[in-house]
Each structure stands twice: as C-alpha cells, then as structure tokens.
Amino acid sequence: MTNMPVVALVGNKGGSGKTTLCVNLASALSAAAPTIVLDADPQRSSLQWRNMAEREDAVPVLDAVDDTAAAIRKSRNEYQYVVIDCPPSVHAEQTGHVLAMCDLALIPVQPSPLDIWATVHIEDKVEEARRKNPNLRAVLVINQLESRTRLSRIIRQALAELSLPAAETAIRRRVAYRSSVLEGRAVTDLGSRGAEAANEISQLIDEVVRA
C-alpha cells in the first residue's frame, strides 16, 4: 500500500482544537480511504468521542497512549491515513514519538497574538524532530476564527514572525464543531447543519494533507 501522510494534531496549549480537528479530519478522510485515529493523549478524548459514536462505521480510534511509536508503525502499514491526537504539550513523551515519525504536524492555534507567539516552543521541537525526521512538514491552522471576520493585520504580522507556515484555510468558530463532537459525530455527518464546516475541513485537506 502506498504510504499516505501520517498526520498529527500537535500543540502546546490546552483547548486549541486538536481533538476537534483530529476527529473531523479523520472522518472526512475516511470517506475516501481507510483511515484510523491514534489517540496519544492521556486524556483520551478521541477515544471518548468514538465510544459515543452511533455510526458503527465511524472512523476507528486506537489507544496509542502507552505504545505510541509501535501504534504508528503498525497503523501506517494497515491504513491509508493515520491521524494522531496528541497531548497538549510538546514536551510530552507521546508528542516526541509522534513528531519523530509523522509526515505532517498540524498545529491548531486560536487567532490571538498571545497564542501565536506561544507556538515558538513548537518551532523549537519541530526543528529538533527534523534532525531525525527531515521531511517533517509543520503547518499552523487558525482555529476558532470568528465567523465572517477576516484575519486582522496584527494576527497576520504575528504569523509572519514565525518560521512555520500557516494554512490559508482557517477554521471558523461554529456550533457544528461543538454539537457534533458531543454527539460522537463529525461535521460531515450533520447534513446541511454542518455543510459550511464540512466544506472548510475538505478545503484544509486539499490544501495541506493531499498537497
């Protein structure tokens, strides 16, 4: 099987949207090819989401907290897409294994200068990981952008100061993301209620995952 990118949701801050993007990206990818989620976060939120899922064909989620490296090695041979939810720290052991092995690290960040500046620690970890994993791509994803607002100049300036690129596709703050996770579903399962969210998720996939 050709190896598709192993995608990880990484961050150094709680609540940036790793789990939300993880389950939604994986659910959208699973419509195209066999996909698995690896939950490497001891909070096990992606696993909780899967336990609530009503759809039997919802994307599978594997506990990868204790044996992160082994779970990645096994899953990437068995699935086309592997999407990994990480703990909210780049210093966590699990995040270290993930950065050493994944192809694409997506870093959700809220559109606030403080949050963007705080990603400097992630830049350092990505640099370190690239010594072992030279092809590692790392991209910031603005999450929870207020609907109908554009990125302000101050946010664009803060992003420009970083060495890591930001995706053009920003994910907006939408009720669909909250309600779908509570229901163990993805925005792609919500029909018209989730259409705008499903659109931006597929745009993000086209821009960064399938690029």
Ligand X SMILES: Nc1ncnc2c1ncn2[C@@H]1O[C@H](COP(=O)(O)OP(=O)(O)OP(=O)(O)O)[C@@H](O)[C@H]1O
> What gap in Å lies between CA 13 and CA 10, rounded to an integer?
9
Q: Which is nearer to Mg ion, 13 or 18 (CB)?
A: 18
Alpha helix positions (H), 60-133: 68-78, 93-101, 113-117, 120-132
Regarding 12 and contact with Mg ion (CB under 5 A), the answer is no
The H or E element containing residue 49 is helix 45-52
For ligand X, the closer CB: 6 or 181: 181
Toward ligand X, which CB reaches closer, 132 or 178?
Answer: 178
Residues in contact with ligand X by the rule CB under 6 A: 11, 14-20, 41, 43, 45, 88, 143-144, 171, 173-174, 177-178, 181
Binding partner at 97 among Mg ion, ligand X, none, C-beta below 5 to 8 Å by kind:
none
The partner in contact with residue 79, picked from ligand X, Mg ion, none with C-beta cut-offs of 5 to 8 angstroms by kind, is: none
Distance (Å, whole) CA 54 – CA 204: 26
Q: What is the DSSP pairing of strand 171-172 with strand 137-145? A: parallel
Instruction: Kindly write out the interface string for residues 43-82 of this chain, putting x where it contacts Mg ion by CB under 5 A and - elsewhere.
Output: --x-------------------------------------
CA atoms of 7 and 25, how far apart (whole Å): 10
Question: What gap in Å lies between CA 149 and CA 147, rounded to an integer?
Answer: 5
Q: Which does 20 bind (CB under 5 to 8 A by kind): Mg ion, ligand X, none?
A: ligand X
Contact positions vs Mg ion (CB under 5 A): 18-19, 45
